[in-house]
Structure 1
Amino acid sequence: MAGTSCVKCPLRNRSLFTPFTDEELEFMQSFKTGEMTVEPGTTLLLEGSNSPQLLTVLNGMGVRYTAMQNGRRQVINFLFPGDFIGLQAGIFGEMKHSVEATTAMTLCVFRRDDLWRLFRQNPARGYDLTWIAAVEEHFLGETISSLGQRDAIQRIAWAFVRIFERLKASGMATAGRVPLPFRQQDLADALGLSLVHTNKTLKVLRLTGLARWSDGELEIGRMAELAEIAMIELEKPQQRPLM
């Protein structure tokens, strides 16, 4: 099999992810069919398509989005290393949203037809997949709460805290910064804000020293205060399964 073996996966030792048992590691090695590397802007999965592949982000970042009838797109959320992609097509037969690479990405590839083999032969891994789906549902609920109950600065503070803590637990923090290569428009879409309002709010956060997002990097100046603005408890991200 081409690419990185599951035994040598660089994500396995990150604190964000639950450890594999020897049995799970052996199964995932047989489940994985290869890797693919894509350039920024590549469409990985297309809304309405019937993709034969399931993917895990090994490195790089991307966005999930849905296309509107007026030609615009709505960013749903962001993709980070360790995220599992394509489950919708595995269950519904087609994708209900699209996935695009924001940066160059490397992804582990699995055959969608093997999904049921995973549930049959390794129920623990099947439970992990269910857990991932449940977390996605929880995050969607938290996002809707933000759209309905948080103002602009609270929404952006919430997003920055969640993203920073996720990437830090993934081993991606360097000198108090994490990579965040998305556009302001992507963040505005995901948080239900206009680009102008987003830009003004980011300026306030920068001038007050709370957070700075520039040149593709996010730096948090005062995390506890930012979490208080976001109306969330500052806590370590829960460990999650790695597919």
Structure 2
Amino acid sequence: MAEIAIRSARKYPCEKCPLRPREIFRPFTTPELEFISRFKKGELTVDRGATVLAEGTRNPHLYTVLQGWSFRYKMLPDGRRQIVNYAMPGDLLGLQGTVTGEMEHSVEALSPMILCVFEREELLTLYREHPELAYDITWLSSREECMLDENMLSIGRRNATERLAYLIAFIVRRSQGTGLNTAKLPIEIPITQQHVADTLGLSLVHTNKTVRKLAERQLLQWRDRGCVVLDLEGLERLADWSTDMHLKPRPFI
């Protein structure tokens, strides 16, 4: 049974955050680090398959992904699901609820996760006293919009084979630099073919056929644990896509 447990004790104090040494993340100034340390109220441990945030609910917290993977999705009344993006270490969850009052999407854990917990009501203090951190949150929101633009382009204009190649390359490039994956192949991604179908708007049967086409080209394999990437550059060439967005220095809270 998937579970969520909040602990006020910190296994990872902000001063010793495992994300800070990674080159992909911009460094904090001393005052910023002191504020973030006060802003953080604890840590949340999440089992694979647990719902971190639920559409239509109000949640007093914001979360930064410290470890693990998750995905954002929306549901139709008949149960059909659309996955809109994937969250990885350094990503901020729950910000939308600050503006709308309640969540307009859900978040589910793809793997066991650890989240840093922040009180939403203290966000105004951040904006008032630390404008550079406020800019960082704006940057993260803008980056999310850019990723959604790319994903919409893929769904709207690429064929099924190109869509799948793009999606896998996109996820791998995002994960590099966060500690989830290195540049060394093969790379494992903990997603099922159902996740792919729900992301790309394909039937499960069509997804399976498309996976087999890429497997025949020796670009990837599908195992019980998920997708194994064999040729990342080959996937990018097939999708006619490349970007350095995910390798540039970026903020996190």
C-alpha deviation, 1:218, in angstroms: 4.0
Query: Structure 1 155/24 Cα, relative in aligned 2: closer, same or farther at 3 Å?
Result: same
Cα deviation, residue 64, structure 1 = 1.0
Partner amino acid, structure 2, of 1:241? P
Query: Which runs of 5 or more structure 2 residues have no equivalent in the other structure?
Result: 1-7
Q: Distance in 1 between matches of 2:137 and 2:42?
A: 19
Task: Give the match for residue 242 of structure 1.
Answer: 252
TM-score, length-scaled by structure 1: 0.93
Aligned to 1:222: 231
Deviation at 1:217, TM superposition (A): 5.0
One of 46, 64, 69 as aligned partner of 2:72: 64
Range that drifts further, 219-228 or 59-68: 219-228
Against the structure 1 CA distance between its residues 157 and 88, is the aligned structure 2 distance closer, same or farther, given a 3 Å change threshold?
same
The CA RMSD over aligned residues, in Å, is 1.7
Report the secondary structure of 2:176's partner residue: helix
> In the alignment, what sits opposite 2:208?
199
CA contact (8 A) 1:172 1:179 kept: no
Matching residue within 96, 104, 109 for 2:117: 109
Is 2:4 aligned against 1:2?
no
Question: Alpha-carbon deviation of 1:35?
Answer: 0.4
Q: Which residue is 2:89 aligned to?
A: 81
Of 14-23 and 132-141, more deviation after overlay is shown by: 14-23
Partners in 2 of 1:172 and 1:101 — Cα distance?
Answer: 14
Equivalent of 2:185, from 176, 181, 202?
Answer: 176
Identity rate, percent: 44
- Map of 1:128-139 to 2, 5 A cutoff? 128-139=136-147
Task: Give the counterpart letter for 1:70 in structure 2.
Answer: D
Q: What is the TM-score of this pair, normalised by structure 2?
A: 0.90
Q: How many residues align?
A: 243
Q: What displacement does 1:233 show?
A: 2.3
Residue type of the alignment partner of 1:199: N
For 1:122, the equivalent position in structure 2 comes to 130
Q: Are 2:5 and 1:12 equivalent residues in the alignment?
A: no
> 1:112 Cα deviation (Å)?
0.5
Partner of 2:4: none
**For the residues of structure 2 that align with 1:9 and 1:178, how far apart are their CA atoms?**
25
Which segment is superposed worse, 160-169 or 81-90?
Answer: 160-169
The CA distance in 1 between the partners of 2:153 and 2:85, in whole Å, is: 15
> Structure 1 CA distance, aligned partners of 2:252 and 2:16?
13
d(CA) in 2 for partners of 1:131 and 1:211? 33
Deviation at 1:51, TM superposition (A): 0.5
Q: Contact 1:227–1:234 at 8 Å: present in 2 too?
A: no
What are structure 1's unaligned runs of at least 5 residues? none
Maintained 8 Å contact 2:191/2:226: no
Alignment deviations for residues 106-146 of structure 1 (CA, whole Å, 9 cap, x no partner): 10000010111110010000000000000111111111101
Q: Match for 1:224: what amino acid?
A: E
Deviation of 1:220 after TM superposition, in Å, equals 3.1
Equivalent residue letter for 1:190: T
The alpha-carbon deviation at position 221 of structure 1 amounts to: 2.9
> How far is 1:236 from its partner?
6.3
Q: Distance in 2 between matches of 1:72 and 1:184?
A: 15
3-state SS of 2:198 partner: helix
Deviations 1:47-92 (A, max 9, x none): 1111000001111111211121112222222221221100011111
Task: Write the distance in 2 (CA, Å) between the matches of 1:72 and 1:86.
Answer: 22
Query: 1:17–1:242: 8 Å Cα contact kept in structure 2?
Result: yes
